[in-house]
Chain A
Amino acid sequence: MAESMHDTMVEREIDRRKMQVSEEVAIQITDMNKWFGMFHVLRDIDLTVQKGERIVICGPSGSGKSTLIRCINRLEEHQTGQIVVEGTELTSDLKNIDKIRSEVGMCFQHFNLFPHLTILENCTLAPIWVRKIPKREAEETAMHFLEKVKIPEQAEKYPGQLSGGQQQRVAIARSLCMRPRIMLFDEPTSALDPEMIKEVLDTMIELAEEGMTMLCVTHEMGFARQVANRVIFMDDGQIVEQNEPEEFFNNPKSERTKLFLSQILGH
């Protein structure tokens, strides 16, 4: 399946000139460790993400990928080490946490849309209540982003009335309405059917082309090859290997990486 994804995306011309990486640091993780009770999920994570970078994180199930990106917006709390996002360090200070969360957008595997609100309300809620933007302006922004993800006509519907792919695109639009500087994706396509995967990936590629800083946990290797400028392989709660996509896929160094790649690309 990963192969077929690759094929569909080759048709698309990707504008790499715009996808410039700047020298500024967006996320700086140093010596970070996390435990769930006695279980050491993340071990000595060191990671620097530049503005405009597009990073794909892959690895076997249970390796701590979700936990890592959830630490970046404090959905999980780390115990030791340091995480600095856009110049603000994540501590237990609630003000900092809310500030960082409003700068960092996140898309989940199961979308997590609010089922009791319409699509439009889903998109305007946070801008109105967190950013204190007037309702009309928030609605205009929301429609702008819904057009961008190509579903403006669904604005008045409820999430339950949309297909999975549409819901995930709404989720992306909802995050974008907060005008985040960084987007985190946690397996955004793994709950979707193949034809829906394409529509969501297309949206993500567009985002990348606009220079959004992205961290993406995914097994869509076609996407990684085309869009990422760095692929990180995690296993047992540590970063085992990271490299540019060409090198990473064609010439993996670690045995674990080779095994993993042969498993997901091999058949």
Chain B
Amino acid sequence: MSDASFVRTEMLSEQDPPPTSVGVIGWLRANLFSNWWNAILTVLCLAVIWYVLSGLLGWTLRSVWNAGSLNECREIMIATWGSTHGHACWGVIGDRWLQLLFGFYPPELYYRPILALLLLFVALAPVLFADKVSPRLLYVTAAYPFLMPWLMWGGSIWMPIGVAAGFVLAYLVGRKLDGSVPGLVLGILSAIIWWMLWLGFPIQAEVFNTGLGEILGAGLGKSLATISPDIAPFWLETVISRNFGGFMLSVLIGVVAIGCSLPLGILLALGRQSNMLIVKAICVGFIEFIRGVPLITLLFVASTLLNIFLPPGTNFDIILRVMIMVTLFAAAYMAEVIRGGLAGLPTGQYEGADSLGLNYWQAQRLIIMPQALKISIPGIVSTFIGIFKDTTLVSIIALLDPLGLSNSIRADTDWNGIYWELFAFIALMFFIACFGMSRYSMYLERKLKTEND
């Protein structure tokens, strides 16, 4: 028998790994104390975390909750801990949280923005969780853009119905003409004409002082809204834009900007790729202009300059103006993000769609966009989050978003001098919203990934 041959006579039984490589100890060793250098770093980091947290937690937890003013807070602090240093005064949140959430929205009507928010979740569900929710909820989604402004501003239901009818008209005309470019243009034109008839034209100043009428113009919707709360059914008490504020305002502007910037961004991205020279030039010009201008500038234009260009006496709601500006701003960024997604698609996908006889819009909707949007999800959600946070900039043009409100709360002698508690609360609210979006995007990416390959 040569040395190379070997026959096992007895089979080995399975044994546990050494205790230093499994369980808590194993994990600690592998991740935190794998060598000296690593161990020192771990200890240092723990020390820093401890230092920060002990200060922060002490400030957050050893705090005053029930106080009507900053002075009262300080008295309680001195009485309890002997100093005012290192203790939060959450009394301001307890005192003003409704205001921070709703601004000066009439308290007896709070149910309306709350209902609008709940409906928002219902409307979003079939879009965000298409595989888990009945597609019939999409009707809610379709109605939401018209229902929400009515709930928020009030007025007659005929206003949103009239606006919605314009979209239906545009769709029908566009469809009759088979989705071609002239069909598209004619559809849009017919909708505009319809709106002018419905809302009244020319727009006159004195007539709008109520509800949605104030925002969009006057006319049939307007007259129904003002003259006849009894005759016109489903009339809601109107709330004027000046009373909007707080987190509600941020969410309102954010949701509208997010909701409108995606379709607009898609159109701009497609326009930028178009081989129709003028369309392309307009899109490129628009995108580059908006991206080259700070949002603040656009907001100032919205709040002051726009009045110069509009016919004198026109009352064009400030919140609507801001929404339009923020939407345009977001759309330009969105367009670039989506263009990145489009560039990531192989030309074979276009050729595959073309060779089957799909027309341009069918190919975009069924083949190109689902894939391009999927590639761009991280960028799209980043843009959403960025836009939502940027809504705080409206405080600069005197809208009462949470930051604007924090100024006005401080202007009250009761709370003069309070900063950190307000900012911490505002930050927390924004964090919850933004973190939610971020988690959703991760969920979506994971889901689409396992689904397709």
Contact = CB atoms under 8 A, between A and B. Distances in A.
- The main secondary structure of chain B at its interface with chain A is helix
A230 interface: no
A3 interface: no
Given A108-B348, A125-B366, A129-B362, A116 B355 contact: no
B304 interface: no
Nearest to A158: B452
Interface in B73-91: none
A112 B354 CA distance: 11
A114 B367 contact: yes
Interface string B321-361: 00000000000000000000000001011011111111100
B451 interface: yes
A175 B357 CA distance: 10
A161 B453 contact: yes
A153 B355 CA distance: 26
B374 interface: yes
Contacts of B362: 129-130
A116 B377 CA distance: 15
Interface string A10-52: 0000000000000000000000000000000000000000000
Contacts of A75: 351, 354-355
A130 B358 CA distance: 6
Interface of A: 73-75, 94, 98-99, 101-102, 104-106, 108, 110-116, 125-126, 129-130, 158, 160-161, 174-175, 178
B356 A101 contact: yes
B451 A158 contact: yes
Nearest to B348: A112
Interface in B100-138: none
Contacts of B374: 116
A108 B351 contact: yes
A174 B353 CA distance: 11
A126 B357 contact: yes
Contact of A125 (B354, B355, B356, B453): B356
Contacts of A104: 355
A105 to B, nearest CB: 7
B268 to A, nearest CB: 23
Interface string B181-217: 0000000000000000000000000000000000000
A126 B356 contact: yes
Contacts of A115: 371, 452-453
A110 B356 contact: no
A111 B346 CA distance: 12
B370 interface: yes
A126 B366 CA distance: 10
Contacts of B346: 110
Contacts of B359: 94, 98
A129 B179 CA distance: 13
A128 to B, nearest CB: 10
B453 A106 contact: no
Given A101-B354, A110-B346, 4 more contacts: A73-B354, A75-B355, A114-B352, A125-B356
With a 10 A CB-CB cut-off, give which of A98, A102, A108, A114 has the most chain B CB atoms.
A114
A160 B357 contact: no
Contacts of A106: 355
Given A129-B366, A158-B451, A110 B354 contact: no
20 contacts: A74-B354, A75-B351, A94-B180, A98-B359, A99-B357, A101-B356, A102-B356, A108-B351, A108-B352, A110-B348, A114-B349, A114-B353, A114-B367, A115-B371, A116-B371, A129-B358, A130-B357, A130-B362, A175-B355, A178-B357
A112 B371 contact: no
B357 A116 contact: no
- Pairs A-B, 4 closest by C-beta atoms: A102-B357, A112-B352, A160-B453, A126-B356
A75 B351 CA distance: 7
Interface in B438-453: 451-453
A101 B349 contact: no
Contacts of A73: 354-355
Interface in B208-231: none
A266 to B, nearest CB: 33
Contacts of A105: 355
Contacts of B352: 108, 112-114
B251 to A, nearest CB: 32
Contacts of A130: 356-358, 362
Contacts of B353: 114
A150 B348 CA distance: 25
Contacts of A102: 356-357
